[in-house]
Each structure stands twice: as structure tokens, then as C-alpha cells.
Amino acid sequence: MSRVLGDVGERVGEEVRVERGPLGPAQFWRGQWRYVVGELLDSWVETPPWWQRPVAGGASADLVAPREVFRVEAVRAGRSRMSFAGVYDLSWDAADNRWSLVRVHD
């Protein structure tokens, strides 16, 4: 089961601070808690549905604003990976220059 975090207008997810490594997120901060990424499980690119894309004066690259999504296994700093690891989907939206935690998988 997974939980999708927030869906307010076009903004989905909870803003997080991410330190990026060579393959993707290396660690992220959710509030006061730091999570260390143990493994990158998957990554993909998503584009918003056509009805959520902003309409500017005409067709342009802005209409297709993809975001990168990284599915990672991470553990809160100081905890055992074997006991407390979780799976998180982190999204990088280049247009907004923003990282979001969009899903937590239980």
C-alpha cells in the first residue's frame, strides 16, 4: 500500500530538502528528520496531465513540464536499515526548482 501526500491544486507532495548524489537523492530532510538513502530502486520522468498544464500564449516547451521521480529506500538517520527502512518517492520539479516527497510506501 502507498500513501500519496497532499494534492492541492497542481502541487502534490510535501516539500523536502534533498542532497543529490551521482545517481539521484543521497539523503533528504523531512522537517527536522534526516533520511539517508540506502538504495535507488527506480527512477522515471512524469509529465502532468494535459488538463493541468498552464496555458500560455501558445504551444511551447512550458506546456510539457516534466518532473523526475526517484523511488528510494531510506532510513531515518541513526536507525537500523534492517528494522526501519522505508520506500519513498521523491520528485524533482525543475520548473519550480523544488523537491517533493510525493509517496510513502507501506
DSSP result, 48-98: --GGGS---SS--GGGS--EEEEEEEEEETTS-HHHH-EEEEEEEETTTTE
Segment among 1-15, 20-34, 91-105 with least mean pLDDT: 1-15
Q: What is the DSSP string of 6-21?
A: --BTTB-SEE-EEEE-
Q: Which of 14-23, 40-49, 63-72 has the lowest mean pLDDT?
A: 63-72
Task: Delimit the domains of the chain by residue range.
Answer: 14-47+65-105
Please tell me the total number of residues recorded for the chain in this structure: 106
Mean pLDDT computed over 30-56: 83
Across the range 10-34, mean pLDDT stands at: 88
Model confidence band, residue 7 (pLDDT cutoffs 50, 70, 90): very low
Helix (H) or strand (E) holding 84: helix 81-84
The predicted pLDDT at position 10 comes to: 42
Lowest mean pLDDT across 6-10, 27-31, 33-37: 6-10
Could you tell me the three cell numbers for 59?
504551444
